[in-house]
Chains A and B, each alone.
Chain A
Amino acid sequence: DIVMTQSPDSLAVSLGERATINCKSSQSVLYSSNNKNYLAWYQQKPGQPPKLVIYWASTRDSGVPDRFSGSGSGTDFTLTISSLQAEDVAVYYCQHYYSTPFTFGGGTKVEIK
């Protein structure tokens, strides 16, 4: 299985400041035939299912504000919230879908400082 490791476990950021979350996979999730990274990011708020934020490592899902961006390739990925808003408080997860079984990172809790 591909192991997904997120860091940090939690971070507190002031409103309007940048939040950066890292995700590392134990093997590459870049598929060479199409040059796509099979990596997604989700946002989860209490009592709700995860909500897709980013797929293909850097494509924002429909309706996701452009302050969210994803970057990285191969085994190292980053989710950046450029200007943290109060509604962004949540737990964020990375997930690979390169091969089954798909696996998730342990989550990063984002709070307001």
Chain B
Amino acid sequence: QVQLQESGPGLVKPSQTLSLTCTVSGGSVSSGTDYWSWIRQSAGRGLEWIARISPSGSTNYNPSLKSRVTISVDRSKNQFSLNLRSLTAADTAVYYCARGDYSYYWGQGILVTVSS
């Protein structure tokens, strides 16, 4: 059974960079064909797909966030990560990591609040 777990800060100041990590167990970020994704959810924006990375490292980004986002993978730790720069209050959301383009495995989510 594949499990995903998000980790990172719950509170970040405006203009700072958010760094989140998704630790995968029961599966490998380096094998198979499924992409690994970050998705966020807020009351104002609903569910918003942020980015995905393939086992080989190929990436796709939401154009609305592309200038501020980087997704990467750490194969040695079986993790993938999200960096989101220049934060504003509008980035306050629950951030999920997930597996697959139709995501059948999700992490539990981490609430990130952007506030001074």
Contacts and interface: CB of A to CB of B under 8 A. Distances in A.
B103 interface: yes
A80 B40 CA distance: 26
Give the contact-size bracket for chain A: 20 to 34
A50 B103 contact: yes
A45 to B, nearest CB: 12
A55 B64 CA distance: 26
Contact of B49 (A38, A56, A104): A104
A101 B109 CA distance: 20
B107 A97 contact: no
The dominant DSSP class at the A interface is: loop
Contacts of B86: none
A102 B101 contact: yes
B32 interface: no
B47 A95 contact: yes
Contacts, number: 51
Contacts of A74: none
Contacts of B106: 49-51
A52 B104 CA distance: 5
25 contacts: A1-B63, A40-B103, A42-B103, A48-B108, A49-B106, A49-B107, A49-B108, A49-B109, A50-B47, A50-B103, A52-B102, A52-B104, A56-B102, A93-B47, A95-B102, A97-B102, A100-B60, A101-B60, A101-B61, A101-B63, A101-B64, A102-B49, A104-B46, A104-B47, A106-B46
Interface of B: 46-49, 52, 60-64, 96, 98, 101-104, 106-109
